[in-house]
Structure 1
Amino acid sequence: MSFIFRRLFSTTQPAMSEAAQKKVQQMIDENGVMVFSKSYCPYCNNSKRILDSYGAKYTHYELNQEDDGAEIQKALLDLTGQRTVPNIFIGKQHIGGNSDLEAVVKNGKNGKKIEELLQAAAAIEQ
């Protein structure tokens, strides 16, 4: 009986992870700015305030409020190497967390200022 249980568990786990990976990629692809966060996280809330201050249109996925939040967070770890939140993408490009977003605001990224990144991602009006 334990063999059957282990077999079922081991075959279910990768399928769930694969579904989470596809869901993460779809959210990143379909949204100019995608923020994976937790509603109680002060760093997540700060990142959303920063984006709001630029008038950015963004989608946020509150991992602690979704049934698949833990799986999504595991998929993000596989994709980015980052387990912490917020996990931010602008124009399908991984920005990182709150301190990374603050650095982009201050110094830019790859020679582009935050406004340029948001405009390129069609997340703010030009």
Structure 2
Amino acid sequence: MDKVLRVASENGVVVFSKSSCCLCYTVNILFQELRVTPFIYEIDKDPEGKEMEKAIMKLGCNTPVPAVFIGGKLMGSTNEIMSLHLRGSLIPMLKPYQAQGFN
């Protein structure tokens, strides 16, 4: 769990992902469209990936990937991120991490 929390706290927006996950891709595209470049951590390419999946689930994410952290805080997986966006709550959270010139 320490590795997950360390990576999440060292980067503004983090997506724990797997290279073959279509929902991970969807979340990444959403962030790109909102002009945010998240730190993508491909857990399937890490020898400790299985342990990281378990840690993410213990932290409260309903699926191990994608697991999105903003400002070091677990925001959830695809459903939670899309719900935040549809409610208009996601963009204000991402404001500090957006590329310049985005309103």
Aligned length: 100
Offset of 1:76 from its aligned partner?
A: 1.1
How many angstroms apart in 2 are the aligned matches of 1:75 and 1:115?
27
Greater Rg over alpha carbons, structure: 1
Q: How does 1:46-57 map to 2 (within 5 A)?
A: 46-57=26-37
Partner of 2:85: 105
Q: Structure 1 residues 29, 82: closer, same or farther in 2, change over 3 A?
A: same
Alignment of 1:118 onto 2:94: yes
Kindly report the root-mean-square deviation, in angstroms, between the aligned alpha carbons of the 2 structures: 1.5
Q: Deviations over 1:11-48 (max 9, x none)?
A: xxxxxxxxxx1111111111111111111111000000
Give 1:94 shift.
1.8
- In 2, Cα distance between the equivalents of 1:95 and 1:81? 8
SS in 2 for 1:80: coil
| Distance of aligned partners of 1:81 and 1:41 in 2 relative to their CA distance in 1, 3 Å threshold | closer
Secondary structure of the corresponding residue to residue 40 of structure 1: coil
Partner of 2:14: 34
Structure 1: runs of 5+ lacking an equivalent: 1-20
Which residues of structure 2 form unaligned runs of 5+?
none
Instruction: State the distance in 1 between where 2:63 and 2:23 align.
Output: 14
CA distance in 2 between counterparts of 1:81 and 1:32 reads 18
Structure 1 segments (4+ residues) deviating >6 Å: none
Change (3 A) 1:81 1:106: closer
Instruction: Name the % identity.
Output: 29
Task: Tell me the TM-score normalized by structure 1.
Answer: 0.72
1:81 positional shift: 4.6
In the aligned structure 1, how far is the partner of 2:80 from the partner of 2:73?
12
Higher helix share: 1
TM-score of the superposition, structure 2-length normalised? 0.87
How do 1:1-126 residues align onto structure 2 when only pairs under 5 Å count?
21-108=1-88, 113-119=89-95, 122-125=96-99
